[in-house]
Chains A and B, each alone.
Chain A
Amino acid sequence: MAQAPSTGGAISPTDLYAIDSLLADEHRDVRDTVRRFADERIRPHVAGWFEAGDLPARELARELGGLGVLGMHLEGYGCAGTDATSYGLACLELEAADSGIRSLVSVQGSLAMYAIHAYGSDEQRERWLPGMARGEHIGCFGLTEPDAGSDPGSMRTTAVRAGGDWVLRGTKTWITNGTVADVAVVWAKVEGRVHGFLVPTDSPGFTARPIPHKLSLRASVTAELALDDVRLPGDALLPGGAGLSAPLGCLAEARYGIVFGAVGAARECLEAALAYAAAREQFGRPIAGFQLTQRKLAEMAVAVGNGHLLALHLGRLKDAGRLTPQQVSVGKFHNVAAALQVAREARALLGGNGISLEYPVIRHMTNLESVFTYEGTHDIHTLVIGEALTGIPAYR
């Protein structure tokens, strides 16, 4: 009997690490569902959204809510209640399509919903979380200010008592989902101490302006929020969290998703590079056969695989309730830098085609520049790890 010719025995980068052997049925089901959603609903459109700098965020939020992605790892209030590993894998598949889509989900689920879930009153949770889980309401998270980035303790936004009410004044910037949000979780100082407030975006004095001129995360809504004496009822304050540790707790949640997400972006670049190297012929043969190309591919595949293992390890720690913020910093530090390096290598490997939106590579490469910076810059995570190792905080 004649045997079918083999394709040369090529295996996928994921199979190189036997990643599936680390996943439970539920994890694979979540991953496959999100991957298919991304294939059908995001990938056909995302280059166009990126080029136009315009994301149909409300429509996407409803679709993602229908799947159960939004706040998927939170318990109750209409949330799916999956484990943290499933949440990470969903982030990975979304970010493989585009970091902007994963950003929408991170901000909704890990920043806005998590803040309400962790620090809100029962009334606040009931009011906002079910609609946010369905994607009918969108949330944003206002911590960063024009003059307070890595040092959020220097924020200038204030909340003062006015009878039973609160009055908020200040400016927040680089706010994902800002112009499409129904509710903003705004962090402000009350007599010098940071507190969270739920600000309905139709409150008088609240304005959100889109931030123009971005050359990264163009398939993502980014805004500046102005709070011009916004008057809120007394129950707008999140009662469960005071001090900087509250918003930083939310950021650790979002950062956890990025540890996985960056692996997705890198995997997409690697897959594009592999396909391109197999198809592109120069000097009479596919460039995949050249040693310099194979070195690039090998380095990329190992970077993606190691990042994947690290992410899954952190996922297991989180599911066991043992994940520390320092470990999340290790994950972001390693995986985002590695993803950026993979994206740049892939960009080079694709030659001139590497700069075209016809391929996902340049889009991921420029997106990852933002991911490198937000949710704690690479430098800040370096110092967190440095402090963990030495006991000496270098940023104070």
Chain B
Amino acid sequence: MREVDSETMKIVVCVKQVPDSWAEKTLRPSDNTLDRESVDAVMNELDEYAVEEALRLQEAQGGEVVVLSMGPSQATDTIRKALSMGADAGVHVVDDGLHGSDAVATSLALAKAIEAQGADLVIFGSESTDARMSVVPAMVAERLGLPQLTFSSSVAVDGGTVRTNRVTEYGYDVVEAPLPALVSVVEKINEPRYPSFKGIMAAKKKPVQTLGLADLGVAAGEVGLGAAWSVVAEAAARPPKAKGTIVADDGSGGVAIADYLSAQKFI
């Protein structure tokens, strides 16, 4: 275990730019990957909670917050948003060779970038709204040999220790690990701040480092669509919504609803 001086604690927050959740998404006909250019892009909502949590830890005990994003050139918008919220610096991993990377390859590139930063604490949102796999934080932790404290609904750092509430089906576990460590946060852990106008003005002057595959020491064959462990062979449009079931309430309506919800495993 290494002693971390909270004054100089370095937090790396990983953020992803995703298509606006309200937008209709399409696949590129050429390779069946998500067409990121045809839709408005925003910061993955859960990553806003991650940025907010990092800023709160920094405000409480000092240190530095670096925001890291892997994505095409327009991902700079998402990095700038995190800088507007208050992060100190940005790292943008961008390389044409990364296009089509699966979670395994993504975790490799992110791990290399985090390693180069020398983070004491790495914070992720617990999933992205486009891929929705929730595996990248765990994969990055494994690659870096860091303790992983996933699905956290609270995060506290005390000296060289991080303690979180890990959300479970029955409530939460209190888990603790020595730093450096990796945390993923769930929705509603906090209320993300709006970027202030002073923050927006200041963000223009904050440093953003751009790293390609060569800078990371990642071989082109290790990432990208060619290295993906799975490919989308075919895609079909979602069928139109089926008509709902209408139950006339003859006194048993409540039971019918309960039966339906139970069959769908909602209750």
Q: Which residues of A contact B (CB under 8 A)?
A: 1-5, 7, 25-26, 28-30, 33, 36-37, 66-69, 72, 80-82, 86
Contacts and interface: CB of A to CB of B under 8 A. Distances in A.
10 contacts: A1-B32, A1-B235, A2-B236, A3-B29, A5-B237, A26-B200, A30-B197, A37-B194, A68-B196, A80-B197
Contact of B197 (A1, A4, A36, A86): A86
B24 A80 contact: no
B195 A80 contact: no
Interface stretch (B51-59, B77-85, B149-157, B251-259): B77-85
Nearest to A28: B77
Given A66-B196, A72-B197, A86-B197, A29 B81 contact: yes
Given A1-B234, A1-B235, A2-B235, A26 B195 contact: no
A129 to B, nearest CB: 14
Contact of A2 (B24, B201, B203, B237): B237
A5 to B, nearest CB: 6
Nearest to B238: A4
A40 B100 CA distance: 34
Contacts, number: 64
Given A4-B237, A37-B194, A69-B197, A26 B204 contact: yes
Output the residue of B26, B27, B197, B203 with the most chain A CB within 10 A: B197
Contact of A67 (B81, B197, B203, B204): B197
A68 B197 contact: yes
Given A25-B80, A29-B81, A4 B26 contact: yes
Contact of B80 (A3, A29, A36): A29
Contact of B196 (A3, A26, A80): A80
Interface of B: 24, 26-27, 29, 32, 77, 80-81, 84, 194-201, 203-204, 234-238
Nearest to A20: B40
A189 B106 CA distance: 70
B193 to A, nearest CB: 8
Given A25-B77, A29-B195, A1 B29 contact: yes
A82 B32 CA distance: 42
A310 B81 CA distance: 28
Which one of B26, B194, B199, B200 has the highest number of Cβ atoms from chain A below 10 Å of its Cβ? B200
Given A29-B84, A33-B195, A68-B196, A81 B29 contact: no
Contacts of A1: 27, 29, 32, 234-235
B194 A3 contact: no
B152 to A, nearest CB: 24
A256 B259 CA distance: 60
B3 to A, nearest CB: 36
Contacts of B235: 1-2
Contacts of A25: 77, 80, 204
B20 to A, nearest CB: 11
B92 to A, nearest CB: 14
A38 to B, nearest CB: 11
A68 B236 CA distance: 46
B219 to A, nearest CB: 31
A25 B200 CA distance: 9
Given A5-B237, A80-B198, A81-B198, 19 more contacts: A1-B32, A2-B236, A4-B27, A4-B237, A25-B77, A26-B200, A29-B200, A29-B203, A30-B200, A33-B194, A33-B197, A66-B194, A67-B194, A68-B196, A68-B197, A80-B197, A80-B200, A82-B197, A86-B197
A77 B234 CA distance: 59
A103 B148 CA distance: 50
- Please indicate which of the listed interface residues B29, B32, B84 has the most CB atoms of chain A within 10 Å of its own CB: B84
Task: List the 9 closest pairs (A to B, CB-CB), nearest first.
Answer: A68-B197, A80-B197, A4-B237, A2-B236, A68-B196, A29-B200, A80-B198, A4-B26, A72-B197
Contacts of A4: 24, 26-27, 237-238
Nearest to B234: A1
Nearest to A12: B40
Contacts of B200: 26, 29-30, 33, 68, 80, 82
Contacts of B203: 29
Contacts of B234: 1-2
Nearest to A86: B197
B100 to A, nearest CB: 16
Contact of A7 (B24, B197, B201): B24
Given A2-B235, A29-B81, A33-B194, A80 B26 contact: no
